[in-house]
A and B are shown apart, each in its own frame.
Chain A
Amino acid sequence: MEKLLHDLVLSPAWYFTAARGVTLILIVMTIAGYSVLLERKASAWIQGRIGPNRTIHPLIGWIPFVGTFLAKGGFIQPAADGGKFLFKEDALPGHVRKPYYILAPIVALAPALAVLVMLPFGEFTYEGKRYAISLTQGADVGVLFMFAISSLGVYGIALAGWSANSKFPFLGAVRGAAQLVSYELAMGLTVLSVFLATSAAGEDHGLSLVAMVDHQQGFLGWNIFGHPVAALVFLICVFAETNRHPFDMPESETDLVGGFHTEYGAFKFGIFFVAEYSHMVIGSSLFILMFLGGWHLPFVPTAGAGWVAPLLGVAAFFLKLCFFLFFFVWVRWTIPRFRYDQVMRIGWRVLLPVAVLNLLAYFAWYAFRG
């Protein structure tokens, strides 16, 4: 079992390489699909409804308890939704700029998936050496890569809005681009302050997420306690970066019809949807890795030899991720959407100064402490 885990993560054999790539994409796609279900269910609960509870599978629907459970929980719903998107007519409006219109969803989804390469979500020890459970081991620049690539996702939005050749998608795209630029700054500055604390001078793994998780030992060692302001600013920025409520300017359906994907339908719209949820997964993963101790749990060994502890670590990471996906929905039904000028004001006049002051304070603290 230990050997298998080792091979699955590290073996250069082609079948293991293929297996881990396919597994990761499948897992993320499934998470994206089921976070749509989570979104629908949690929205329903918050509004006093039940949510999707009727979809059954013809082959397993009749099994006494399992079938009922699957139907009541809506667990077949994502598959049904996906199937629907797959079989709908893929309409191509006459007034769009066609090549870019087709390219836009791809540009939106590709960075979201590419970032996964650098995402560590567990660790194990094999023959005395520690390895991260991730697609790439030498992820020293992990966090740089993730920030660089995941912000490329906005090109998908910009391209979609522009190629749709109508005013509301265009407005949505412009808002999306402006918003991303504004919040990326504050986000980067908070990350700096955290890295200042977690990577010692002269260390090799300066920007590695694994090193950052290693730094957060024990419950009170989590960065969220050492860097509360940074965590708060980062959290707000994650909401803004993933275009989630209350910052969903690019697709604010009350004033912009459907925002940047107004002209999209069928599977192309589905791809935008998956891209948004993948961004949510990545944003929350980053927050978990940087502030919530990654795969660490207090009082439970989640890394080390054997295969139980590493799997516990992965499970802990997954649980934290689930909580975050729920938190996105929870916030969505709590805070009304900001006006566009408010979004800009919060970004430039509140979050950026706060992030700068926070960084300066940590600079001063470390300079003073020596």
Chain B
Amino acid sequence: MAIKVVERRPLTLLERTYLPQILAGLKVTWDNMMRPSVTLQYPEERPAIPKNYRGVPTLVMDPNGREKCVSCQLCEFVCPPKAIRITPGEISEDSANAHVEKAPKEFEINMLRCIYCGLCQEVCPEEAIWLQSQYSMTGLSREAMVNNKVKLYELGGTLPDGHHKWDKKKEEAEKQAGGHH
């Protein structure tokens, strides 16, 4: 391919005075000033949070109001800054959720350690922990920055769930038990 050398035009006298350029620049700044401002008045106006935003990690329930976490502690192990601390617990026999393996007795996420990486959400086999849209997390003490289980469910709420894994398991088990008899 032939190389085309573009002749570099020498500056004219008018250009060398630099003045037309300054005037053009003044017009640019003036036009910019006439445009509406783009400032978001933060505490009053909030930014629109995109769907896949990685905000504060929360625990969620399934549509039946069952806590989805089974305290497998995978998130605790994967958490790079070791922000998660889970105390596993049993589910009592007479509970409606007795067919579920386990549930956390206590679930704490230390938001002073959390780096919002989302590995806990990625690793969770139960889709129980979600980084949702809350982006502002403040507290007046170190203790206030540790989210306990109650707070985590309060933040998380309920998310739609198409799997109903444990209910299906239970049905399966009942069917198999029925078929065997």
Q: What chain A residues lie within 8 Å of B32 (beta carbons)?
A: 46-48
Q: B22 to A45, Cβ gap below 8 A?
A: no
Q: What chain B residues lie within 8 Å of A334 (beta carbons)?
A: 22, 25-26, 28-29
CB nearest neighbor in B for A354: B17
Within 8 A of B (CB), among A22-51: 42, 44-50
Q: How far is the CA of A334 from the CA of B24 in the complex (A)?
A: 9
Contact among A49, A232, A331, A335 with B39 in the assembled complex (CB-CB below 8 Å): A49
- A339 → B minimal CB distance (Å): 14
Q: B35 to A330, Cβ gap below 8 A?
A: no
Q: What chain B residues lie within 8 Å of A232 (beta carbons)?
A: 19
Q: A49 to B37, Cβ gap below 8 A?
A: yes
Q: What chain B residues lie within 8 Å of A323 (beta carbons)?
A: none
Question: Known contacts A334-B22, A335-B22; is A46 also within 8 Å of B29 by CB?
Answer: yes
Q: B29 to A44, Cβ gap below 8 A?
A: no
Q: What chain B residues lie within 8 Å of A333 (beta carbons)?
A: 29
Q: B37 to A330, Cβ gap below 8 A?
A: no
- A50 → B minimal CB distance (Å): 5
B33 within 8 A of A: yes
Q: A50 to B25, Cβ gap below 8 A?
A: no
CB nearest neighbor in A for B23: A334
Contact among A46, A48, A330 with B38 in the assembled complex (CB-CB below 8 Å): A48
Within 8 A of A (CB), among B26-72: 26, 28-30, 32-33, 35-39, 41
Within 8 A of B (CB), among A329-355: 330-331, 333-335
| Residue in A42, A45, A333, A334 with the greatest tally of chain B CB atoms within 10 Å | A334
CB nearest neighbor in A for B25: A334
> Considering only CB atoms and an 8 Å cut-off, how many residues of chain A contact the other chain?
14
Q: How far is the CA of A50 from the CA of B41 in the complex (A)?
A: 9
| Residue in B29, B37, B41 with the greatest tally of chain A CB atoms within 10 Å | B29
Q: How far is the CA of A334 from the CA of B41 in the complex (A)?
A: 26
Q: How far is the CA of A333 from the CA of B37 in the complex (A)?
A: 16
- A338 → B minimal CB distance (Å): 10
- B38 → A minimal CB distance (Å): 5
Q: B29 to A48, Cβ gap below 8 A?
A: no
Q: A44 to B37, Cβ gap below 8 A?
A: yes
Q: What chain B residues lie within 8 Å of A50 (beta carbons)?
A: 37, 39, 41
- B45 → A minimal CB distance (Å): 12
Q: What chain A residues lie within 8 Å of B37 (beta carbons)?
A: 44-45, 48-50
| Residue in B26, B32, B33 with the greatest tally of chain A CB atoms within 10 Å | B33
Q: How far is the CA of A46 from the CA of B37 in the complex (A)?
A: 9
Within 8 A of B (CB), among A81-106: none
Q: What chain A residues lie within 8 Å of B41 (beta carbons)?
A: 50
- A71 → B minimal CB distance (Å): 12
Contact among B19, B30, B36, B39 with A330 in the assembled complex (CB-CB below 8 Å): B30
Q: What chain A residues lie within 8 Å of B30 (beta carbons)?
A: 330
Q: How far is the CA of A334 from the CA of B23 in the complex (A)?
A: 9
Q: How far is the CA of A331 from the CA of B19 in the complex (A)?
A: 12
CB nearest neighbor in A for B26: A334
Q: How far is the CA of A50 from the CA of B37 in the complex (A)?
A: 6
Q: What chain A residues lie within 8 Å of B26 (beta carbons)?
A: 330-331, 334
Q: How far is the CA of A78 from the CA of B33 in the complex (A)?
A: 22
Q: How far is the CA of A232 from the CA of B38 in the complex (A)?
A: 35
Q: What chain A residues lie within 8 Å of B33 (beta carbons)?
A: 42, 45-46
- A168 → B minimal CB distance (Å): 29
- B43 → A minimal CB distance (Å): 10
Q: What chain A residues lie within 8 Å of B29 (beta carbons)?
A: 46, 330, 333-334
- B34 → A minimal CB distance (Å): 9
**Cβ proximity bits A212-255 to B, threshold 8 Å, 1 near / 0 not:** 00000000000000000000100000000000000000000000
Q: How far is the CA of A330 from the CA of B29 in the complex (A)?
A: 7
Q: How far is the CA of A49 from the CA of B96 in the complex (A)?
A: 57
- A326 → B minimal CB distance (Å): 10
Q: B38 to A335, Cβ gap below 8 A?
A: no
Q: What chain B residues lie within 8 Å of A42 (beta carbons)?
A: 33
Q: How far is the CA of A75 from the CA of B59 in the complex (A)?
A: 47
Q: How far is the CA of A333 from the CA of B22 in the complex (A)?
A: 11
Q: What chain A residues lie within 8 Å of B28 (beta carbons)?
A: 334
Q: How far is the CA of A50 from the CA of B19 in the complex (A)?
A: 30
- A351 → B minimal CB distance (Å): 12
Pairs A–B under 8 Å by Cβ, sample size 22 = A42-B33, A44-B37, A45-B37, A46-B32, A46-B33, A48-B32, A48-B35, A48-B36, A48-B38, A48-B39, A49-B37, A50-B37, A50-B39, A50-B41, A232-B19, A330-B26, A330-B30, A333-B29, A334-B25, A334-B28, A334-B29, A335-B25
Beyond the given pairs A45-B33, A48-B36, A50-B41, 11 more chain A to chain B contacts, judged by CB atoms under 8 angstroms and listed by A's residue number, are: A47-B32, A48-B32, A48-B39, A49-B38, A50-B39, A232-B19, A330-B29, A334-B26, A334-B28, A334-B29, A335-B22
10 nearest A-B residue pairs (beta carbon): A334-B25, A45-B33, A50-B39, A334-B29, A48-B38, A46-B33, A50-B37, A49-B39, A46-B29, A48-B37
